[in-house]
Homo-oligomer: A and B are copies of this chain.
Amino acid sequence: MTVTLADVAARAQVSPATVSRVLNGNYPVAAATRERVLRAVDDLDYVLNGPASSLAAATSDLVGILVNDIADPFFGIMASAVQSEITGPGGRAGGERMAVVCNTGGSPERELTYLTLLQRQRAAAVVVTGGAIEDAPHAAAIGGKLRRLGEAGSQVVLCGRPPADEAPDAVALTFDNRGGGRRLTDHLIGLGHRRIGYIAGPTERTTTRHRLEGHQEALAAAGVPDDPRLTLHGPYDRRSGYDATLELLRRAPELTAVVAANDTVALGACAALRDRGLSIPDDVSVAGFDDLPFSIDAVPALTTVRLPLYEAGARAGRIAMGREEEPPGGIATVHGELMVRGSTGTPRRA
């Protein structure tokens, strides 16, 4: 039914070994023979059996990319960058590897499932993007999995996630979420804001915690009291920003600024403010995080912290492919840049 290596060998009148060698391109094969084999491959429409090949060679060309939410450009951009380094610009350079992205939906179970699946496939490398869950058992489980993946020969790279204690072999490209959060709130305080609402991401995520800590650091440094009623948690989506903003307005009508966990949330915040008839930034300033492509098109354009998502992803991809040296200690911090735009200004009703 399906064409096998042996069929090709028969047609080309050579041994299966020779066909394999032609296809793999290591080992010398006489030009004439190669020709004949290639022609047979073509005639028969032969396609290598991946599993058989991986089994025999005990290697695979699979690279897995784990993302929390593939519909979110934050991850899409990183994934795209990783993949471009792995697949190569031409579509198949760099060793003919296949990068696949796995959408975990932020669930540790799915994350684990995918890591196991990748381990099953003996993936050449695994890139895990985005913040981690801080729940101890989960973190341990995932860390252990990553360690075992590394031990089994897969290169593990964390991109935008803090290093995992359990997996010392994994390279980590960590985002400086704390520093970014700090600078953002510093900026707001510098403008004169004192009553600042904070719409955080879901609890138990490192990203959420670090950004929030940066915010609190800034408040503390400026001697601004941190009113816990001004911090709300929610998912990283527009809706959350919208609802939380209304709630913040209810809790503290005198609010002059809202810092959102990310740009998407910030957009929701803007929508809520507009619906309340408040002007941005005259009545309330709004700031986001990440600087996703649409942020500059918001009206007014969003003040945010630009994370070099594409660059970081590309670097992760290169490290995964062994085309770039690992950072010293296996850990590198990627810094964000404060982008001051129209959505923040001096408070009118300070």
- A residues adjacent to B (C-beta < 8 A): 2, 45, 47-55, 60, 64, 69-73, 75-77, 79-80, 83-84, 87, 90-92, 98-103, 105, 107, 109-110, 113-114, 116-117, 119-122, 148, 152, 238, 264, 267-268, 270-271, 274, 293-294, 296-299
Contact with A271, one of B122, B152, B297 (Cβ below 8 angstroms): B297
Give the top 8 A-B pairs by smallest Cβ distance, nearest first.
A100-B100, A50-B120, A51-B54, A299-B299, A91-B110, A71-B76, A51-B55, A71-B80
Give 20 CB contacts A-B under 8 Å: A49-B55, A50-B120, A52-B55, A53-B120, A69-B80, A70-B79, A70-B83, A71-B73, A71-B77, A80-B103, A83-B103, A84-B105, A91-B105, A98-B114, A100-B101, A264-B293, A267-B297, A294-B294, A297-B298, A298-B299
Which chain B positions have C-beta within 8 A of A53? 51, 120
Which chain B positions have C-beta within 8 A of A52? 51, 55
- Contact A116–B70 (Cβ < 8 Å): no
Which chain B positions have C-beta within 8 A of A69? 80
- Contact B73–A121 (Cβ < 8 Å): no
A50 to chain B, nearest CB (A): 4
Task: Name the residue of chain B whose CB is nearest to the CB of A293.
Answer: B238
Which chain B positions have C-beta within 8 A of A299? 274, 298-299
Which chain B positions have C-beta within 8 A of A274? 299
- Contact A87–B72 (Cβ < 8 Å): no
Task: Indicate whether A92 sits within 8 Å of B119 (C-beta atoms), given known contacts A70-B70, A83-B103, A148-B45.
Answer: no
A297 to chain B, nearest CB (A): 4
